[in-house]
């Protein structure tokens, strides 16, 4: 048997507030899973920068390697 109901957002929040901690955590995991791609894209957009070139990064990596090699 399938049942369908319509809730507005405030009703949904009211229902969630009645859930126990375990149920809320399960809902949280579901929401995290379903929104991961959007959150990840937003994260990538927030850290994207044109300030460093591949040459800058390569030079820094080589400098760290050189320091680590001489520290041995």
pTM exceeds cut of 0.75? no
As a whole number of angstroms, the distance between CA 70 and CA 55 comes to 22
As a whole number of Å, the CA-based R_g of the chain is: 24
Residues 6+ apart with CB under 8 A from 19: 27
Domain regions of the chain by residue span = 10-46
pLDDT in tens, 20-65: 999 999 999 999 999 999 999 999 988 887 788 889 889 999 999 9
pLDDT at 50: 75
């Amino acid at each position: 048997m399938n049942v369908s109901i319509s809730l507005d957002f405030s009703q949904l929040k009211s229902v969630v507030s009645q859930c126990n901690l375990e149920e809320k955590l399960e809902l949280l995991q579901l929401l995290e899973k379903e929104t991961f791609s959007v959150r990840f894209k937003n994260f990538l957009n927030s850290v994207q920068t044109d300030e460093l070139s591949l040459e800058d990064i390569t030079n820094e990596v080589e400098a760290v390697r050189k320091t680590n090699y001489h520290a041995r």
